[in-house]
Structure 1
């Protein structure tokens, strides 16, 4: 069962629209699905529905709700891709962390699910890293997160497990940035990095031209095992 809910912002600046997909029975945990720069589009909703089918409560907050509520963009359409880049430039990721924390609190208090993890993509991958450093989320996963190399000074705040999937041919995360991530995080006891040689940004999208089935399935299987372990 799926629905759209309004989650009160802990900043007290409004309510965050969120897509919620519920499992058939009692949830064995909750997953915050953090969107890319394309909004809560069909691919993000499909990710939520897949988590629900596996027994999790899945919640995808609309991270652009303050200035582009309800936007859904297709990365395979050039005009919509450029629109998404504009939103990325406008976006304050600190607000994203507030929205994730608001979602965590709503899940625990209103939905009654104690253990909460997240899976984020692109900008959402960066937010997954930030959530691991700045919130009490139980476990976090980031896919091809952007600009993580600029935030490595926050790594010492990471107290709960974090997994990062790194696309080795990511056109938005340079080889130098990837090397910095490894140098800063490989020795961290709570952080696991997986490299995907030859993979571009967006390889684990649910649909569209960017998806690479084999590598997406490998990354998703690692994510599922990781979150199952840490949300048990």
Structure 2
């Protein structure tokens, strides 16, 4: 499940469009997005927020149903960061009844609007890659604790219910690190085309968790590392932690965000349905 290599594989694959045509039609920040609206969607309200952490001030987006208190979800974006696609994904989740915090994981060196201002995907990826170097396992754990503490202070959040966390691409390991850093609050975790989940440091975190997991794997990630899913199953079983681990046929690395070059709506919707099923079961 290597995000860098399989991302390179995906270049030139954009649902029948050439990479040049895709770039000409939209930038990383400006692609028109059309996500399905959930049935019985709730009215939601969102706001930009700033979160003080031991390492600085993180810019983030918080959105929740307009009325009531709800279970919360912490979202870790992919390498392209907090952007319109992830804001819409957060709003869609909020319409389904959750209070959602989506963070800028690169806040230590660059704010989300400044990263997206570069426009070109390769430039954004390069800047994010440099910023990502500061997101060490210890830094990720500090962030997780700070973000969960922020979530629990929001009036829209029901602290009696567990927290869920999701991650995409590089966000996959951050989900596991979050579940291990705050096991008393995190009850459900989901990784979509996450990279590096089956490394020894990641597997060693599983016994510290109290969360159940959904791990959705891209077909080309699995082709590059076909034993990773088996290592994960063994580790979760040994820790007696429930985990739904599946390779999504025909889905390429990065298939879930709607601004992705390889967005696969059918498989993205299926992954979304499995996520909602996990949250319905664990965050009640």
> TM above 0.5, one fold?
yes
Q: How does 1:63-82 map to 2 (within 5 A)?
A: 63-70=105-112, 71-72=115-116, 77-82=121-126
Deviates more, 1:193-202 or 1:43-52: 193-202
Find the counterpart in structure 2 of residue 59 from structure 1.
101
Q: 1:67 to 1:171 in 2, by over 3 A?
A: farther
1:143 is aligned to 2:192: yes
Q: 1-side partners of 2:139 and 2:243: how far apart?
A: 24
The answer on whether the counterparts of 2:106 and 2:128 sit within 8 Å (CA) in structure 1 is no
1:7 CA displacement = 1.5
Q: Which residue of 2 aligns with 1:202?
A: 254
Aligned pair count reads 230
CA contact (8 A) 2:140 2:177 kept: no
Cα distance, 1:74 vs structure 2: 8.7
Tell me how far apart the structure 2 counterparts of residues 48 and 131 of structure 1 sit (CA, whole Å): 18
Contact 2:61/2:101, CA 8 A, preserved across alignment: yes
Structure 2: stretches of 5+ with no match in the other structure: 1-44
Quote how far apart the aligned CAs of 1:48 are.
0.8
For residues 192-223 of structure 1, give each alpha carbon's deviation from its aligned partner in whole angstroms, at most 9, with x where no partner exists.
21221232111111223221011111110000
TM-score, length of structure 2 as denominator length: 0.73
3-state SS in 1 of match to 2:167: strand
Q: CA deviation at 1:73?
A: 7.5
1:160-212 CA-to-partner distances (Å, cap 9, x unmatched) read 21221111312896223334323433554332212212321111112232210
2:180 to 113, 133, 143: 133
TM-score normalised according to structure 1 size: 0.88
CA–CA separation in structure 1 for the residues paired with 2:257 and 2:213:
20
**Structure-1 residue corresponding to 2:72:** 30
Question: Given that residues 30 and 56 in structure 1 are in contact (C-alpha distance below 8 angstroms), is that contact kept between their aligned partners in structure 2?
Answer: yes
Please report how far the alpha carbon of residue 24 of structure 1 lies from its aligned counterpart in structure 2 after TM superposition: 2.0
1:169 alignment partner, SS class: helix
Equivalent position of 2:34 in the other structure: none
Q: Relative to structure 1, is the Cα distance of residues 189 and 161 closer, same or farther in structure 2, using a 3 angstrom cutoff?
A: same
The question of 1:40 aligning with 2:89 is answered: no
Could you say which structure has the larger radius of gyration? 2
Equivalent residue number for residue 164 of structure 1: 215
Show structure 1 runs of 5+ residues with no match: none
